Structure 1
Amino acid sequence: MTAATRALTQLASWPDLAEARPSCGTGRALRSARAEIAHFHADRRVDLHLTARTIRRFEDDLRESTAVRLVPGSHWVTIRLECDADIDLLMTLVSVALQAHQGWPEADGTPSAQCNDHHGVRLAHESAGDG
């Protein structure tokens, strides 16, 4: 079982999340009552809808993580899942994302519906075969 499969299984059991078809059309998704939260695109890659406000708030910390990739202008972050610590990071960030989406609408406009997969994002150390 891959790290992404383990993470998806754990998150799908959360009462505030339900499996859904991703708006980008690729992989599997989890959503809350208000928004898509995560897109599982590959065995090791997940896009997480944190919101622009939340990314700005935690940007320095997110940039320090080798598992996280930020895309300028995106309301999503891409997380590389290679080990249990990366899954733990994802769980924490999903909690943050759920809190962000329970609040008020973003002040800087409509939330981005397009995840980072739409932008062709790959982490620098991601192999070509990880799809």
Structure 2
Amino acid sequence: MTLAARALMQLATWPDLAEARPSCGVGRALCSPHGEIVHFHSDSDADLHLTARTIRRFQDHLARSAAVRVVPGSQWITLHLEGNEDVHLLMTLVSLALQAHHAWPVPGDAPLTACNEHQPVPLPRENLSGS
């Protein structure tokens, strides 16, 4: 079983999440009563609707994770799942996303936003440590 499939199975048991068809039409999605939360686009990638406010709030922390890709202007982040720690990070971020969506409406967050599936992918951050 892939990491994305395992994460989807775990998250689908959460009472605030239900499986749905993603609005982008690619893969599988989980939604809360307040909107789409996560899209699983492949065996190793997931887009998570954190909201602009939450991304701004945790921007420094998100930037430190090699698994996270932030697309400028998007309310979604992309998580690349390579190991169990990435799945744990996804679970934590889904919890944050649910909290953010529950606090709806949030100024500056439009109700309908496209996930990162069809957005230009930013180049990976350069490893500044030289390793």
Q: What is the TM-score with the length of structure 1 in the denominator?
A: 0.90
CA contact (8 A) 1:74 1:112 kept: no
Q: Residue 74 of structure 2 aligns to a residue in which SS? A: coil
- Which deviates further from its counterpart, 101-110 or 6-15? 101-110
Q: Are 1:58 and 2:47 matched, yes or no?
A: no
Deviation at 1:104? 2.6
The gaps in structure 1 that reach 5 residues or longer are 126-131
Q: Residue 42 of structure 1 aligns to a residue in which SS? A: coil
Q: Summarize the Cα distance change of 1:59–1:117 in structure 2 as closer, same or farther, 3 Å threshold.
A: same
Q: Summarize the Cα distance change of 1:36–1:55 in structure 2 as closer, same or farther, 3 Å threshold.
A: same
- Is the helix fraction higher in 1 or 2? 1
| In 2, Cα distance between equivalents of 1:44 and 1:24 | 17
2:12 maps to amino acid = A
Q: Are 1:49 and 2:72 matched, yes or no?
A: no
1:94: which partner in 2?
Answer: 94
Superposed CA offset, 1:6-56 (max 9, x none): 000000010100000000000000000011000000010000000000000
2:114 maps to amino acid = Q
2:28 maps to amino acid = R
| In 2, Cα distance between equivalents of 1:78 and 1:97 | 13
Q: Are 1:107 and 2:107 matched, yes or no?
A: yes
The RMSD of aligned alpha carbons is 1.5
Which of the two has higher C-alpha Rg? 2
CA contact (8 A) 2:70 2:77 kept: yes
| In 2, Cα distance between equivalents of 1:116 and 1:54 | 16
1:74: which partner in 2?
Answer: 74
Deviation at 1:118? 1.8
1:13: which partner in 2?
Answer: 13
1:58 maps to amino acid = F
Q: Residue 29 of structure 1 aligns to a residue in which SS? A: strand
